Amino acid sequence: MDSPLFMILFASIFVPSLKFSVANDYMNVALSDGKTLVSKGEIFELGFFSPGSSQKRYLGIWYKNIPIQTVVWVANRENPINDSSGILTMNSTGNLILTQNGSVVWYTNSHKQAQNPVVELLDSGNLVIRYEAETNPEEFLWQSFDYPCDTALPGMKLGSNLRTGLQWRNTAWKSPDDPSPGDVYRVYELYNYPEIYLMKGTTKLFRYGPWNGEYFSGLPDLSYGLNFVRNKDEVYYNFSKINDHVITRTVTNQTGYIYRYVWADEERIWKTYKTSPSEFCDNYRQCGPYGKCVSTQSQSCQCLKGFRPKSPEAWASYRWSQGCVRNKPLSCKDKLTQVFVKFEGLKVPDTTHTWLDENIGLEECRVKCLNNCSCMAYTNSDIRGGGSGCVMWFGDLIDMKQFETGGQDLYIRMDASELENTRKKNTQIIVASTVAAICLVLLLSTYFICKMPKNNAGNSLTEDNHTKHLDHLDIQLFDLPTIMTATSCFSFGNKIGEGGFGCVYKGILLDGQEIAVKTLSRSSWQGVSEFINEVKLIAKLQHRNLVKLLGCSIQGQEKMLIYEYMANGSLDSFIFDETKSKLLEWPGRLHIICGIARGLMYLHQDSRLRIIHRDLKASNVLLDENLCPKISDFGLARIFGGDQIEGNTSRVVGTHGYMAPEYAVDGLFSIKSDVFSFGILVLEIICGKRNRGLYHADKNLNLVGHAWSTWKARKAIELIDPNMKESCVISEVLRCLHISLLCVQQYPEDRPTMASVILMLESHMELVEPKEHGFIPRNVPNEEDLPSSEKDTSLTNDVTITLLQAR
């Protein structure tokens, strides 16, 4: 690299043949503050800018015709200029030099010499120094793409040049006002089986999983337009343009996320189409060694078959980092009694300690792994065409994720007895299925004893009309005899809930699976459209914090939804019950708050559709056997298009006590009205009181008003439910209270998004002071004074509705 003195000497020497390319023209002048260099197609622009509220000046590249200045590259990100005296020139060696009042601020370090080099900004966003004679237009003396900042553009590499040692990585800006490198970065680690990580310092936050020939193992839904290259000279990945009319970029953010944006020209905004990590199971090493993370299960972390929790106590308390251990330990002396068990649909483990041979097949790979007692697992390195290549893992297997569809096969070393146990279980399943089939034939007679009135022809036509709306959905349609058998003919002993919609029954299918059957009475407010709406919505949703719809049943006018059974009923049955609330200590309540937040963010941002729930409340949050929260009841939910952010209705439905003011008064609903309901719910979880009750000395405040006045008086600690005071971490509780008050602010634009809520819950970022709350005071009686028939109800104008609550 040239010395600064050498650079300064030549910075003042202009060679007439040295040129800057501006659009289609060439100029023999320096680039000063206020002037810009524009790419030929007028897509990108190079010049001086000040980020955010900063007054400092930087040399950078941004999109020319996008009204929101979006900077994709910064030259002097670590050495800003204090005023407008910056100037960019080229010296006789063909290097660019940025100076301020004669002092070198930044310069390029190309050691190649060339006659008459040219500086050009390409339409790809790449600033290059190249030979003037375009004998090889792709050969550059220097290029900005070799020195990425926080943004990856189509064609930009992420990886390493094995000849020069140059590493291409994305490093976050410290803040929107400061482009200097933060401590969060995206890097391609060159293990034997290389893969991409999102890092914070030396801590791994998220990994893509290795490239398997078709996609990154941990991102099976991200494959279009990706390119992966590994040869003796370089290892890298990049992505291509979708087409010339779609503008995309990928940004590594200091918050610990990777955002993939697409420019929506009609709305004139950047839209996020992919966020990584996007869910709990994407976070690195959540489940410890030999644990797999399953997003769609109530308990995300599960031990692989043949393994058990290392610490059952910690596992039951959602502390999964210790992971799992083998039911039967392995020994090098017993290699002849060891086999490999196939596990399907996985994000393969972290590849830090791996061995790779791309020239052998799966069988030879198995033999090599078996003969090395340190080898714990193997699979194909390339899954194309039936699979090829061999990769082996040594040491503990960590950071695995289970996919419902996609994923890879992994062959894990086990004691032979575990394979025998698996065969026995399979045999038992076959026997049980056979017995169940025989029992089903015998139990069909139950239908004729318990059956509902016969359907007439009109009902049959209605049933056909209903089911045709569901044919295209991947959902099971249960027949009536199956449901009747499971619920013992809807016996009173199996009844677990009742409301305006009908009854909820517990049932057990012939395979032993427990279910909750929500029946829809003929007099229910929820008609066909609401029923179809709920089925369509939930069928498309897959998240561990949303109740899972197993199927539905339409028999004439009888309509039923079949859900997974929630052993602990609804959240309100815990937090508002004097006995049960003592069992729900602060760690469990915080886990529930975070789970609800993740489920709501999935609805608002990460699902295929933008969904507004419109009736989030304590009775619509169900708890499984591990007290994992699941949002339920989507009968009132609304689907939004990708560009729609709010809607309005003349039919206001929901629950007083949880409605945002703009919705209750004007019928306006949006993701921010759901955020308001979430804020109310967090207050109730912390305080152990219903919002609809009246509090304070003169009984003139609901819970929100009481919390607001107590917060302003700096006595927020008085709000904490006495049943959890011994278990709570005061700083965590006060932070959650603070967040809840931000969520219930009067104006929607002041409330955070759920993505921001999760960031605030999981970090120590400074929180802004909340503004006046937005709850509308109502002269309602205290909850304890209401008749039982009116407790926990939803109101739609003058109609009373009680939504699903499995108790």
pLDDT tens readout for residues 504-556 = 889 999 888 899 998 876 544 455 566 666 677 677 777 889 988 888 887 76
Annotation says 615 is catalytic: yes
Q: Which of the 8 DSSP states describes residue 790?
A: G
The vertex-249 CA angle with 245 and 250, nearest 5°, equals: 155
Q: Residue 92: enclosing H or E segment and its boundaries?
A: none
Q: Specify which residues 272 forms β-bridges with.
A: 261
Interatomic CA distance for residues 668 and 191, integer angstroms: 53
Answer for the pair 551, 562: CB distance below 8 angstroms, yes or no: yes
Residues 6+ apart with CB under 8 A from 789: none
Give phi and psi for 517, each to the nearest 5: -105, 115
* Nearest alpha-carbon partner for 585 in 487, 723, 469: 723
**How many other CB atoms are there within 10 angstroms of residue 163's CB atom?**
9
Dig out the tokens for 587 from the structure: 């760690």
Token pair 């998240």 in the structure block, residue: 543
Q: Could you read off the pLDDT of 39-67 as tens digits, one per residue?
A: 999 999 999 999 999 999 999 999 999 99
Distance of CA 518 to the CA centre of its chain: 29
Q: Could you read off the pLDDT of 236-280 as tens digits, one per residue?
A: 999 988 777 889 999 999 989 999 999 988 888 898 888 899 888
Q: Could you read off the pLDDT of 107-128 as tens digits, one per residue?
A: 998 777 667 788 999 999 999 9
Interatomic CA distance for residues 806 and 506, integer angstroms: 9
What domains can be seen in the chain, in order of their start residue? 1-147 (2.90.10.10), 152-278 (no CATH), 281-422 (no CATH), 444-564 (3.30.200.20), 572-801 (1.10.510.10)
CA dist 9 to 17, 104, 164, 239, Å?
18, 10, 28, 41
Interatomic CA distance for residues 139 and 130, integer angstroms: 7
Q: Specify which residues 546 forms β-bridges with.
A: 631
Token pair 């293990």 in the structure block, residue: 191
Q: Looking at residues 66-81, what average pLDDT do you find?
A: 96
**How many other CB atoms are there within 10 angstroms of residue 117's CB atom?**
27
Residues 6+ apart with CB under 8 A from 416: 337, 338, 339
pLDDT tier at 424 (50, 70, 90 boundaries)? low
Pair type for strands 558-564 and 514-520: antiparallel
Interatomic CA distance for residues 118 and 130, integer angstroms: 5
Interatomic CA distance for residues 804 and 784, integer angstroms: 22
* Nearest alpha-carbon partner for 551 in 540, 563, 537: 563
Residues 6+ apart with CB under 8 A from 182: 171, 172, 173, 174, 175, 254
Distance of CA 321 to the CA centre of its chain: 20
Distance of CA 801 to the CA centre of its chain: 33
| Residue 720, SS3 per DSSP | coil
Question: What pLDDT score was predicted for residue 60?
Answer: 97
Give phi and psi for 332, each to the nearest 5: -60, -25
The vertex-655 CA angle with 654 and 656, nearest 5°, equals: 125
More confident residue, 668 or 133: 668
* Nearest alpha-carbon partner for 87 in 72, 101, 108: 101
Residue type, 358: E
Residue type, 6: F
Q: Could you read off the pLDDT of 694-714 as tens digits, one per residue?
A: 555 445 678 888 899 899 888
Answer for the pair 188, 169: CB distance below 8 angstroms, yes or no: yes
Give phi and psi for 498, each to the nearest 5: -155, 145
Interatomic CA distance for residues 593 and 732, integer angstroms: 12
pLDDT tier at 476 (50, 70, 90 boundaries)? confident
Question: What pLDDT score was predicted for residue 296?
Answer: 77
Does 19 show up as a binding residue in the annotation?
A: no
Interatomic CA distance for residues 290 and 397, integer angstroms: 5
Question: What pLDDT score was predicted for residue 429?
Answer: 47
Dig out the tokens for 169 from the structure: 């990585």
Give phi and psi for 67, each to the nearest 5: -65, -30
| Residue 270, SS3 per DSSP | strand
**How many other CB atoms are there within 10 angstroms of residue 464's CB atom?**
10
* Nearest alpha-carbon partner for 508 in 547, 438, 562, 570: 562
Residues 6+ apart with CB under 8 A from 543: 279, 295, 296, 598, 599, 602, 607
pLDDT tier at 22 (50, 70, 90 boundaries)? very low
pLDDT tier at 80 (50, 70, 90 boundaries)? very high
Q: Which range has the worst mean pLDDT, 108-117, 132-141, 259-268, 428-437?
A: 428-437
Residue type, 756: S
What percentage of residues in the chain have a pLDDT greater than 70?
Answer: 78
Highest mean pLDDT among 89-93, 201-205, 414-418, 616-620: 201-205
Give phi and psi for 156, each to the nearest 5: -80, 135
pTM for this one?
0.56
Give phi and psi for 471, each to the nearest 5: -60, -35
Q: Could you read off the pLDDT of 761-798 as tens digits, one per residue?
A: 988 888 889 987 765 444 433 433 333 333 333 333 22
Dig out the tokens for 560 from the structure: 């039923």
Q: Residue 256: which region, alpha, beta or left (left: phi > 0; alpha: psi -120 to 50)?
A: left
Residues 6+ apart with CB under 8 A from 559: 466, 519, 520, 528, 531, 552, 553
Pair type for strands 558-564 and 610-612: unpaired
Token pair 């994923």 in the structure block, residue: 407
Interatomic CA distance for residues 665 and 649, integer angstroms: 11
Half-sphere exposure of 167 (CA within 13 A, CB side): 10
| Total residues found in the chain within this entry | 807
Choose, from 150, 572, 615, 624, the residue flagged as catalytic: 615
Interatomic CA distance for residues 541 and 563, integer angstroms: 13
Token pair 């030099």 in the structure block, residue: 97
Half-sphere exposure of 682 (CA within 13 A, CB side): 31
Is 678 a residue whose pLDDT tops 90?
A: yes
Token pair 């009841």 in the structure block, residue: 633
730-743 vs 586-601: helix axis angle to the nearest 10? 30
